[in-house]
A and B are shown apart, each in its own frame.
Chain A
Amino acid sequence: MRHILSILLENEAGALSRVVGLFSARAYNIDSLTVSTTEDPTLSRMTIVTHGSDEVIEQITKQLNKLIEVVKVIDLNESDHIERELMLIKVRATGKDREEMKRMADIFRGRIIDVTEKTYTIELTGTSEKLGAFIEAIDRSVILETVRTGASGIGRGERILKI
């Protein structure tokens, strides 16, 4: 099953490679990974989307906790959470495609953030599913380039991940 793990770790050189190295060394899957510093510059926040059986996810969580630089790990799937991903997608926008692209972007609440005679660059946020749905919805042949950040997640309501 797909899980979103949210990790607080020391903002130190090498901490990221420890996490990534752990996944490859133990043959765990990484579907996506995002990381950046938090309001506290000594801490980074990482979101990893992975999949595996309950046993595997339990081991991943334990192994992550074992890394000295990892401060906290939560599995967002364990309760209500919000998930967002950002996609920048460059599409061919000529002739009748130009109008169609604008319309699709509107339907998906995307924004066109760069325009040339032949292209649009569209910014889209949402769950990873929604971004996937957008790609499915448009004509494949017009896609020139896609850049996705991978999912970020946060608990709903009062629930927070903090030290």
Chain B
Amino acid sequence: MQISGAEILVRSLQEEGVEFVFGYPGGAVLEIYDAIFKQDQFKHVLVRHEQAAVHAADAYSRSCNKVGVALVTSGPGATNAVTGIATAYMDSVPMVVISGQVPTPAIGMDAFQEVDMVGITRPCVKHNFLVKDIGELATTIKKAFYIAATGRPGPVVVDIPKDVTQRLAEFHYPESVSIRSYVPVTRGHPGQIKKAASLLAEARRPYIYIGGGAVQGNASAEVTELVRMLGLPCTNTLMGLGAYPGDDRQCLGMLGMHGTYEANMAMQYCDVLIAVGARFDDRVISVPSHFLAQPKKIVHIDIDPSSIAKRVKVDVPIVGDVKHVLRDLIDLMKQNGQRPDAANLAGWWMQIEQWRSYNSLLYTPSSELIKPQYVVQKLYEITGGDAIITSDVGQHQMWAAQYYPFKRPKQWLNSGGLGTMGFGLPAAIGAQLANPDAQVACITGEGSIQMNIQELSTAKQYHTPVKVIALNNRYLGMVRQWQELFYGTRYAESYMDALPDFVGIAEAYGHVGMKIENPADVEGALREAFSPALKERLVFMDFRTDQSENVFPMIQNGKGLDQMDLPPHMRELQIAPFENNRDYGNMC
């Protein structure tokens, strides 16, 4: 029996086991919406802006390991989706974005709501397709899901002209596809793994640097096993938070621009570094030459060869899926009884403990002003450290990363690579739909939340009781911090004037609003928001926080990992420089 292209698309999505499609209708996709209307196998979530559809689908994927799906119309619908697509691309999130296109005969005619979606998104997708022939539609969808989810994951755009959705054809969904020009690697080279094992066994100051690849690659168990088996110190990048439990002693916290003192010092002064699905980002190692000035051997495990030797030359590149490579590495080391020398390792730990003892995340508490760090700490306490946290971009994002030690992967959803303000709320909605029983909180700023605040309406319609934790400092705080430090306190356009009454806004959208101005009220308000009475409600918590608080430690542009701007309490300390051959025995 022949069915329409729109029905073929819908059937294909069903075959892929899609649960939710996040989208927004328009002329070019009316046929598709009609086909969606006639089925009930998956649910459509109507957002209020296409950017939010893509962020929600993205966070859905990040939080549950499935491919997220978004659907937008041609022209403005498609361009609105671009920020979301670029966000997912930078963080390697598997997604399929379907965009409507003007009918094939109209392409190139400057038709109404025509944009070259394939051209616009080319630099920010893993791949994209324009489906000109209905005979190709089902196979293209199969390919899109396959490409999105395999190898280094990423978003795939499928642009479908309206006439293709209207034409009729037989439906056959391929069981599998193979693409001769696309063959992702999984297993690492045994010879390279052997070299990595020997390096680790000979290390005096080993360190494991865990990135988003360990989260995306579901390798948390393997990472944890390796770190524990050998008793090593480790660190998570912003994207890797939770891959190794942040509340464990062997984890030195996040590293990088706003990483902890100990995590950054260990990164600079380790002698053998194992990078696990991490890409030596500029916000992590800062200046490569300074990072490499301290000699170290580097093993880099990554599924994408182009991530290796991009910013840093490494000694042992291993192309492969982290999960498999780590399994092989662990088995090999176990079999050979290889492990680093215990005395050396104990000395290294002693140095690390000394760095840790400075407590670089200490802040000055206040009984008058709400400290943003305190809000995050209380949130951690009250949610038992178990909530799924989404965030926007700015100081609040860094405080969330620093003061909420994530226990498990996929618990922390944020835009790291693109740094997209407006990600948090739609992401929380997507994550809540994927995890209906989880507590989901969105830590945001008064600037970021206003970039997609209309999604409060979506949250109402789909009953997603997320808790919005707005750390309202009346400033584009991260911008203000840079202006304070580097632009002589000239706060050009970083003050958020004319702020709305967020409680009123929340209520107008049918939610619960709270305004918290006193440190003494923080805990009570949070307890109430997370109480059974409000379990089914979205609560918008407007915390009026200390306007002048800054994020520390901080590595300024051009500085090295061991040249952090330290928090006030550490500035007066005389910290001895690291010495290679220090007698650790005398240190305690």
Q: Chain A residues in contact with chain B, CB under 8 A?
A: 9-10, 13-14, 17-18, 21, 25, 55, 58-59, 62-63, 65-66, 68-71, 163
Contact = CB atoms under 8 A, between A and B. Distances in A.
Interface stretch (B304-312, B395-403, B534-542, B574-582): B304-312
B180 interface: yes
Nearest to B132: A13
B305 A65 contact: yes
A6 to B, nearest CB: 15
Contacts of B122: 14, 17-18, 21
A28 to B, nearest CB: 13
A21 B305 contact: no
A21 B181 contact: no
A18 B179 CA distance: 17
A10 B181 contact: yes
A25 B121 CA distance: 12
B309 A58 contact: yes
Contacts of B126: 68
A55 B181 CA distance: 24
Closest 5 CB pairs of A and B: A62-B306, A71-B181, A68-B127, A62-B305, A25-B123
A58 B309 CA distance: 9
B85 to A, nearest CB: 15
Contacts of A62: 305-306
Contact of B180 (A13, A63, A163): A163
B119 interface: yes
16 contacts: A13-B130, A14-B122, A17-B122, A21-B122, A25-B123, A55-B309, A55-B313, A58-B309, A59-B310, A62-B306, A68-B126, A68-B147, A68-B179, A68-B182, A71-B180, A163-B180
B130 A14 contact: yes
A52 to B, nearest CB: 14
A68 B181 contact: yes
Contacts of A17: 119, 122
B123 A21 contact: yes
Nearest to A10: B181
Nearest to B179: A68
B578 to A, nearest CB: 29
Contacts of A10: 181
A55 B182 CA distance: 24
Contacts of B305: 62, 65-66
Nearest to B126: A68
A55 B310 CA distance: 8
Nearest to A65: B305
B95 to A, nearest CB: 15
A55 B309 CA distance: 8
B118 interface: yes
Interface in B38-76: none
A9 B182 CA distance: 11
A66 B181 contact: no
Interface string B13-55: 0000000000000000000000000000000000000000000
A66 B306 CA distance: 8
A18 B130 CA distance: 14
Contact of B181 (A9, A13, A58, A63): A9
A14 B131 CA distance: 12
Nearest to B305: A62
A21 B122 CA distance: 8
A163 B182 CA distance: 12
A70 B183 CA distance: 11
A14 B130 CA distance: 9
Nearest to A25: B123
A66 B309 contact: no
Interface string B94-136: 0000000000000000000000001100110011001000000
A66 B304 contact: yes
A70 B181 contact: yes
Interface string B411-434: 000000000000000000000000
A14 B122 CA distance: 10
A14 B117 CA distance: 12
Given A14-B130, A66-B304, A68-B181, 16 more contacts: A10-B181, A14-B118, A14-B122, A17-B122, A21-B123, A25-B123, A55-B309, A55-B313, A58-B309, A59-B309, A62-B306, A63-B306, A66-B306, A68-B127, A69-B181, A163-B180
Interface string B288-306: 0000000000000000111
Contacts of B119: 17
Contacts of B181: 9-10, 68-71
A66 B151 CA distance: 10
A62 to B, nearest CB: 4
Nearest to A66: B306
A13 B119 CA distance: 12
Contacts of B147: 68
Contacts of A14: 118, 122, 130
Nearest to A163: B180
Interface centre among B118, B127, B179, B181 (most CB of A within 10 A): B181
A131 B469 CA distance: 68
A62 B308 CA distance: 9
Nearest to B309: A58
A21 B180 CA distance: 22
A5 to B, nearest CB: 15
B585 to A, nearest CB: 43
A116 to B, nearest CB: 39
